[in-house]
Amino acid sequence: MRSAARLSAISCALLAVVASASASAQIKIGVSISTTGPAAAIGTPSKNAILLWPKEIAGQTVQYIILDDATDTTNAVRNVRKLISEEHVDVIVGPNTTPNALAMVDVAAEAETPLVTLAASSSIVEPMDAKRAWVFKMPQNDSHMATILTQHMAENGVKTVGFIGFADAYGEGWWREFSKLAELRKIKVVASERYARNDTSVTGQILKIMSANPDAVLVAGSATPAVLPQKTLVERGYKGRIYQTHGIGTLDFLRVGGKDVEGTFFPTGPGVVARQLPDSNPVKKVGVDFTRRYEAAYGANTMTQFSADAWGAYLLIANAAPQALKAGQPGTKQFRSALRAAIENTKNLTVPQGVINMNPKDHVGLDQRSRVMGRIQGNKFTYAYGG
């Protein structure tokens, strides 16, 4: 009897320990973004949005570990290794740039830890394979944005265009999608140039573009480095239309560009201009709600493409967490695997930048509801077209 009583007592104690561990289970989310370096103008609004993420998801407390990659691929890989091996995170959010994201894919996949990126290029999640099965992407694919951008060009009489883009995966991704769609819309690309994010002059490239006398010029860059080609075009007296990509959606772009970027057309997520969207737009309510939350913390007209993407990452993870918790506790391989599967099967989730419907072959899940055309007017991002 004494032995039975002792076993019963031990069993009760073990159950109490298990129950206590379960009750104190904590979801750990690692973040690696660029808060310094050339992409800091992108990473800072992302971090600002992340600081607004709730401290509880699906009844579990959440710990956020935020690291800066300084816009450097070596740092990005070091960060993801640290988050996985030392912090034992359940999911990673970031980075902001395509080169850093591509560098992180192998590490996340090897550790079987979901990676929700805030970088734009479709090459991060395509073509789908065993490694990319662990990777998801919040920003719209370049093809989404290039479609509405070339449509706007065609409808506004643009017959010839010059292209200048980053000499990296972001610029090449845009060149691939834009050149294909421009050809379909009978828009002739008469010049194509590249430059590095940290270049201080693009005069040679701009002179070559201007010598072709295009009706419009597309700058395929992001954040403040995207200002340089446009400023050079203005300084050299170019009078045609200037287009940029959704990568410009930062307050620093407006500050550095000033009057030289006034009138610029660019594709963007609907969340960036949420208040100006037609009431029929399915994203407007969620976009306006987030804009109000963000501006309450950081001031009027501070919400950007990149803060909206980061808020969408939280909504994506929070939507998947309840399903993942049925398979295992945070901190376990079972939870990470189930979280990956739940994210992959996200259906009809409205985020500030669109409506997400993912599947095993599509780890973005956005459609035409994910973009509109914007225009810079009065040193602000404004709604121009679509949606």
Instruction: Kindly report, residue by residue over 158-213, the tens digit of the pLDDT.
Output: 999 999 999 998 999 999 999 999 999 999 999 999 999 999 999 999 999 999 99
Contact 65, 89 (CB under 8 A): yes
Same domain as 252, residue 151? yes
Same domain as 245, residue 217? yes
Same domain as 203, residue 308? no
Note the pLDDT tens digit of each residue in 38-70: 899 999 999 999 999 999 999 999 999 999 999
On whether residue 201 sits in a domain, the answer given is yes
Same domain as 129, residue 31? yes
pTM of the model: 0.86
Note the pLDDT tens digit of each residue in 71-115: 999 999 999 999 999 999 999 999 999 999 999 999 999 999 999
* Residue 296, pLDDT above cutoff 70: yes
Overall number of domains in the chain: 2
Residue partners of 47: CB distance under 8 A and separation at least 6: 31, 33, 35, 66, 310
What percent of the chain shows pLDDT beyond 70? 94
Same domain as 349, residue 324? yes
The whole-number pLDDT of residue 121 equals 87
Q: In the 3-class helix/strand/coil scheme, how is the chain assigned residue by residue?
A: CHHHHHHHHHHHHHHHHHHHHHHCCEEEEEEEECCCCCCHHHHHHHHHHHCCCCCEECCEEEEEEEEECCCCHHHHHHHHHHHHHCCCCCEEECCCCHHHHHHHHHHHHHCCCCEEECCCCHHHCCCCCCCHHHEEECCCCHHHHHHHHHHHHHHCCCCEEEEEEECCHHHHHHHHHHHHHHHHCCCEEEEEEEECCCCCCCHHHHHHHHHCCCCEEEEECCCHHHHHHHHHHHHCCCCCEEEECHHHCCHHHHHHHHHHHCCCEEEECHHHHHHHCCCCCCCHHHHHHHHHHHHHHHCCCCCCHHHHHHHHHHHHHHHHHHHHHCCCCCCCHHHHHHHHHHHHCCCCEEECCEEECCECCECCCCCHHHCEEEEEECCEEEEEECC
On whether residue 47 sits in a domain, the answer given is yes
Q: Which domain holds residue 365?
A: 26-140+292-370
On whether residue 114 sits in a domain, the answer given is yes
On whether residue 6 sits in a domain, the answer given is no
Same domain as 74, residue 86? yes
Same domain as 118, residue 31? yes
Kindly calculate the radius of gyration of the chain based on its CA atoms and give it in whole angstroms.
23
Judged on CB neighbours under 10 Å (0-12, 13-18, 19+), 82 is middle
Same domain as 253, residue 209? yes
Assign residue 199 the CATH number of its domain: 3.40.50.2300
Same domain as 153, residue 126? no
Residue partners of 16: CB distance under 8 A and separation at least 6: none
On whether residue 306 sits in a domain, the answer given is yes
| Summary mean pLDDT of the chain | 93
Backbone angles phi, psi at 211, to 5 degrees: -65, -20
Same domain as 199, residue 149? yes
Same domain as 256, residue 162? yes
* Residue 375, pLDDT above cutoff 60: yes
Q: Which amino acid does the sequence have at 132? A: R
On whether residue 115 sits in a domain, the answer given is yes
On whether residue 208 sits in a domain, the answer given is yes
Out of 224, 253, 268, a domain closes at: 268
On whether residue 247 sits in a domain, the answer given is yes
The whole-number pLDDT of residue 387 equals 65
* Residue 21, pLDDT above cutoff 70: no
What percent of the chain shows pLDDT beyond 90? 89
Same domain as 147, residue 136? no
* Residue 16, pLDDT above cutoff 70: no
Contact 219, 232 (CB under 8 A): no
Contact 318, 104 (CB under 8 A): no
Note the pLDDT tens digit of each residue in 211-226: 999 999 999 999 999 9
Contact 91, 30 (CB under 8 A): yes
